[in-house]
Structure 1
């Protein structure tokens, strides 16, 4: 006969031993992984942004990410990888699939038995809606980050012009101007300049590469203007200030356009409210006829 007390004791001791082994293994310092460190060194300016999620090994989602065709520029701007984007869509779809199933289970316990077609169709519909919402959330975050990046580039243009006015060279002006301010935008710029220094590239080429990657052409304009200063020796103070002024005007125009769009959307509920009030006023007279 099997001794259950002995079996439980053996299993419990094994579990405790496994737990102690894992604790000791995690506490010991591990050798650094050279391959990921080299990949981080040679990749374009990073996908790091304050408040972003910690990096995870999501290589198994690469195939799913390629099938979903993620918006690469938007993801690079907000500091996400295609694998993280695919994971968010997959989790959102699973939540959408599970919600009708849980509701059907609750109805079944309550004594209500809906047809099997209804929860199936509802699960597919919820999954599609939740995945669409996750995709839309990425686009909204990217649009907000793009507006913030453009405003920071406008300040960066003025700072670079000031550094050039202080008799600094073009490369030094780019680096000193990026060190003045904090924030995730200037962190991305500083990282691009560090990568250019480590890889012995021209800093304006690295800035234009970053601008192409994240879809911010205004940052590429900084690189183009500074390239003329570094290679041709041109005086670009006025060019930088003029580009900053035109960018401010463009940002102001875009802000006014968004405000007008929001105002026009608010006119619809206001008109509906007027119709409702008119209906309340006219109904007593119509009821007496």
Structure 2
């Protein structure tokens, strides 16, 4: 084996080994991050700049390219997203170069600009896939969050109908539900209690952080009850009914979109069949009359 082949096999083997290690590392269950959980419950008033790592300073400068609202909704940090962004960019830059290098070793030559263009296109494609993956997961989580908020509003209305106070109604309603949305709501209410602020302030903050304005609407309704003593049972039930109608309309729109998308493969198949049926006639027409 020549030294060039030995070096190539070593590089390819190291790449596959690194990919296998990263895959196993991502599949293994990770330990819960205690620091972010404590930060959500009681954030520090300020951070000491000298204690921040270089990677944290870099990710803070990359804030314009980070979908912060979607990441907060998914429970991910900007550092994790920037790390994923750097990894997929490096993979996109290295994969075409490796494949073209293997082809060059078997005698397939390429121009000097082809590897660069292929690497840039592959890296841009993988970065776009990463953004699309985050956006699609955030949209799905936001739909789930809206359904949970609708249930939370109904529970809060029932607690108010039972004669409980505003803050007690919110706490009891949050304790009745399960799932990650109700966990976030309980954390927001606990954080507001630790900061000695009204619970609707925590709901406003949580709704703004996750991009779910329905939580802010619930905070406004409960604020009117806590400040002016307004009777909010009918208002809560009307808001829950309105939100259910919006969710139903969105689901119907998504179903119609999926149905229309299913018609595209059928139309393409029909076009292919028509071309196959017309091909003999077109071939004979284009060939012209045969001269004996």
Q: What is the TM-score normalised by the length of structure 1?
A: 0.77
Query: Which sections of structure 2, spanning at least 5 residues, go unmatched?
Result: 1-34, 45-52, 286-292
Q: What is the alpha-carbon distance in structure 2 between the residues aligned to residue 63 and residue 205 of structure 1? A: 27
Q: Structure 1 pair 84/64, CA: closer, same or farther in 2 (3 Å)?
A: farther
Q: What is the alpha-carbon distance in structure 2 between the residues aligned to residue 132 and residue 233 of structure 1? A: 50
Q: Which residue does the alignment assign to 1:80?
A: 76
Query: Which sections of structure 1, spanning at least 5 residues, go unmatched?
Result: 1-34, 45-55
Q: Which residue does the alignment assign to 1:59?
A: 56
Q: Structure 1 pair 146/57, CA: closer, same or farther in 2 (3 Å)?
A: farther
Q: What is the alpha-carbon distance in structure 2 between the residues aligned to residue 285 and residue 125 of structure 1? A: 41
| Mapped contact 2:40–2:191 kept (Cα < 8 A) | no
Q: What is the alpha-carbon distance in structure 2 between the residues aligned to residue 39 and residue 288 of structure 1? A: 76
Q: Which residue does the alignment assign to 1:142?
A: 138
Structure 1 segments, 4+ long, off by >6 Å, are 35-38
Per-residue CA deviation, residues 248-274 of structure 1 (Å, 9 max, x unaligned), is 000010111111122222222222222
| Mapped contact 2:95–2:119 kept (Cα < 8 A) | yes
Q: What is the alpha-carbon distance in structure 1 between the residues aligned to residue 89 and residue 205 of structure 2? A: 34
Q: Which residue does the alignment assign to 1:161?
A: 157
Residue correspondence of structure 1 range 21-100 to structure 2 within 5 A:
39-43=39-43, 58-66=55-63, 68-100=64-96
Q: What is the alpha-carbon distance in structure 1 between the residues aligned to residue 162 and residue 281 of structure 2? A: 79
Aligned length: 243
**Equivalent position SS for 2:62:** helix
Per-residue CA deviation, residues 79-108 of structure 1 (Å, 9 max, x unaligned), is 122222211111111110010121022223
Residue correspondence of structure 1 range 1-289 to structure 2 within 5 A:
39-43=39-43, 58-66=55-63, 68-283=64-279
| Mapped contact 1:163–1:173 kept (Cα < 8 A) | yes
Q: What is the alpha-carbon distance in structure 1 between the residues aligned to residue 244 and residue 269 of structure 2? A: 38
Q: Structure 1 pair 269/146, CA: closer, same or farther in 2 (3 Å)?
A: same
Q: What is the alpha-carbon distance in structure 1 between the residues aligned to residue 281 and residue 113 of structure 2? A: 49
Q: What is the alpha-carbon distance in structure 2 between the residues aligned to residue 36 and residue 180 of structure 1? A: 25
Q: Structure 1 pair 59/258, CA: closer, same or farther in 2 (3 Å)?
A: same
| Mapped contact 1:61–1:86 kept (Cα < 8 A) | no
Q: What is the alpha-carbon distance in structure 1 between the residues aligned to residue 143 and residue 36 of structure 2? A: 32
- Residue 43 of structure 1 deviates from its aligned partner by 2.8
